[in-house]
A = this chain, B = another copy of it.
Amino acid sequence: DDIVTLVFHLMNTYQIQKQQIISMGIGVPGSVNKEMGIIGYANNLNFTGVPFLSLIKEKIEWPVYLDNDGNVGAWGEFLAGSGRGYHSMVMVTLGTGIGGGIIINDQLYYGCNNSAGEIGHMVIEKNGLPCNCGRRGCFENYASATALIKYAREAMLENRDSMLWEICQKDTNKLNGVSFFEAVKKEDRVAKAVLEQYISYLATGIANLINIFQPDLLCISGGISQAGSLLLDPLKALVEKEVYTRQDKSGQTVIKVAKLVSDAGMIGAALLKN
């Protein structure tokens, strides 16, 4: 009901007639059965097996398409952002966890249960840190944005001389991606050492994905990807040393950061089709 109300409100505000609407796309934070229009499971919405599409279609007459939020983000970035001109892409989204989106032959790849691309739950350290998925040593425990901030907080507490204290106004709770990379830019020794450790883990997971997929493009998304070359240059240097095909002249995966970031999901949802 909230979605439908908002849609009609926006149409009214911007004087959009229903004849002008080709279709509507929705990114769902959970698993989606696209064919049935059902949300299998969305933990943050407390939805299990909700017939979402048929509920929406009771009040909306144009075509409506559903997909997972990670997928629509990857789809938007692929069609309208850093992915333009490529045919295959693995999206690595650094956030609370690490999300993935896989595009092969210009199409999103779903797997047998619409749950492919859980790249954050690839173990890179056997018997490592416990993950809330039940495994130990998952990629996201070491290379998510959350992990970066956790490492940085630990390093702050152990190094009272770090510039991070000043930048965060002596409050570890004010530490985030922006303040962390501010300290890196200012050549803070502690922040640089944290970044080096973080990038080492990130490179391990990304080299794994390249060895498996050899996609045209590996695109890094999420807030901290916008640190740009501070993150990307040392990451590329490490990955280039590790990938199996590093001496192959016939082609190499390109590594880029996302261009659209928070708009990617909106654009990708709008461009969904059957």
Contacts and interface: CB of A to CB of B under 8 A. Distances in A.
Nearest to A122: B208
Given A40-B248, A118-B244, A242-B135, A208 B123 contact: yes
Contacts of A216: 112
B123 A207 contact: yes
A241 B121 contact: no
Given A119-B212, A207-B123, A214-B113, A134 B251 contact: no
A113 B251 contact: yes
Given A118-B212, A214-B115, A207 B251 contact: no
Contact of A118 (B100, B118, B211): B211
A212 B116 contact: yes
Nearest to A245: B115
- Copies assembled: 2
Interface residues of A, number: 52
B113 A244 contact: no
Closest 3 CB pairs of A and B: A111-B214, A113-B251, A118-B211
A93 to B, nearest CB: 14
A252 B113 contact: yes
Interface in A211-236: 211-216
A126 B116 CA distance: 24
